[in-house]
Amino acid sequence: MLIAEPPSQQRAHGTSPRHDWTRDEVRALFELPFPELMFRAQSTHRENFDATAVQISTLLSIKTGGCPEDCAYCPQSASYQTGVRAEKLMPLDAVLAAAQAAKSAGSSRFCMGAAWRSPKERDLDHVCAMVAGVRALGLETCATLGMLTAAQARQLKAAGLDYYNHNLDTSPEFYGTIITTRTYEDRLETLGHVRDAGIHVCCGGIVGMGETREDRVGMIATLASLPAHPESVPINMLVRVAGTPLAGAAPLDPIEFVRTIAVARITMPRSMVRLSAGREDMSEETQALCFLAGANSIFCGPKLLTTPNPGREHDAALMDRLGLSPLA
């Protein structure tokens, strides 16, 4: 299905995307000498985008904590003692006030996250009102609410939802060691419903969870061989939250993180690659390398969903130092 691109996605046409990436090819990219990998990533980036433009989204946790899933990385799972309190769904006016503040601060997209396995019908009606209200403010809308049925995806589309975030998180092989309460197939099924409803797909994963490079290869190969590439590919560095099973995970070499961004850029040339969670603990030099590797989108604002993110002024100063501009 052809989907009209919202303004922030419009760009000159460059490399034709391939959907038949093999693991061997993706592994070979990861194994390139760093200068070669960066050159290929930058060439692909410039064929498809203005390399100085960065799309900015703001996150809001509209329903925090108490989640029945057991994702080993997540501070919002009810299975772990992380100090995150379970809260009710936020009221509409508070969500709209946060969206207006995000718009005034320069964000073009507002992403609403809920700690649900999947939304209940009554909750979805409330979220649809939020989506319609946020869109009426002139923002692109994104939501991440867990698994959806085909009918729920259509309902969100009708309310004006532009993007749905649903991550594959890691390789199919490693997935079972991170989450036991739902399967990779469940995730792929929801992604299919989102795509079929005509909503843009935001789908990526997390690195630094103790996975091997082969798992990172498997994750990117899976994303890059989806029937249509996700329009947005968030690459998260694990935020190690005390109380979660992954609190003590060994830190990932930042250069390996940059390589993951570069391989995502090369294999999904027309997607927005988002340098997502983990920037709070990342040096500005590593973030700069991520932009050079083809990342062209970030979350701005002092909080992700429950964990800290660099403040807006900090990010504005970094973008200024690097000569990057927000994509309107």
Smallest distance, Å, CB 33 to ligand SAM?
29
Do 229 and 3 contact (CB within 8 A), yes or no? no
Half-sphere exposure of 64 (CA within 13 A, CB side): 17
Ramachandran bin of 71, using left for φ above 0, alpha for ψ from -120 to 50, beta for the remaining angles: beta
Residue 77 interacts, among ligand SAM, ligand SF4, ligand DTB, none and using kind-specific CB cut-offs from 5 to 8 Å, with: ligand SF4
> Cα–Cα distance between 312 and 318 in angstroms, integer?
10
Catalytic residue flag (residue 203): no
Question: Which residues in the 154-173 window bind ligand SAM by CB under 6 A?
Answer: 166-167, 169
Question: Which residues in the 107-136 window bind ligand SF4 by CB under 6 A?
Answer: 115
Print the binding letters for residues 68-87 with ligand SF4: x by CB under 6 A, - otherwise.
Answer: -x-x--x-xx----------
> Cα–Cα distance between 286 and 291 in angstroms, integer?
9
User: Which of 40, 128, 187, 202 is flagged as catalytic?
Assistant: 202
Can you tell me whether residue 261 is helix, strand or coil?
helix
DSSP string, 272-301: EEEE-TTGGGS-HHHHHHHHHTT--EEE-S
Residue 238 interacts, among ligand SAM, ligand DTB, ligand SF4, none and using kind-specific CB cut-offs from 5 to 8 Å, with: ligand SAM
Catalytic residue flag (residue 202): yes
Q: Is 167 in the site for ligand DTB (CB under 6 A)?
A: yes
Q: Is 277 in the site for ligand SF4 (CB under 6 A)?
A: no
Print the binding letters for residues 131-160 with ligand SF4: x by CB under 6 A, - otherwise.
Answer: ---------------x--------------
Residues binding ligand SF4: number (CB under 6 A): 8
> Cα–Cα distance between 199 and 231 in angstroms, integer?
10
Q: Is 113 in the site for ligand DTB (CB under 6 A)?
A: yes
Question: Which residues in the 280-319 window bind ligand SAM by CB under 6 A?
Answer: 305
DSSP string, 13-56: --SPP-S---HHHHHHHHTS-HHHHHHHHHHHHHHHS-TTEEEE
> Cα–Cα distance between 319 and 328 in angstroms, integer?
15
Catalytic residue flag (residue 300): no
**CA-wise closest residue to 305 among 3, 67, 18:** 67
> Cα–Cα distance between 234 and 165 in angstroms, integer?
9
Residues binding ligand SAM: number (CB under 6 A): 18
Can you tell me whether residue 87 is helix, strand or coil?
coil
The amino acid sitting at 314 is H
Give the residues lining the site for ligand SAM (CB under 6 A): 73-74, 76, 113, 115-116, 144, 146, 166-167, 169, 206, 236, 238-239, 241, 277, 305
Annotated active-site positions, please?
A: 67, 71, 74, 111, 142, 202, 274
Write out the residues near ligand DTB by the rule CB under 6 A.
59, 75, 111, 113, 144, 165, 167, 204, 234, 236, 239, 276-277, 304-307
The residues binding ligand SF4 (CB under 6 A) are 67, 69, 71, 74, 76-77, 115, 146
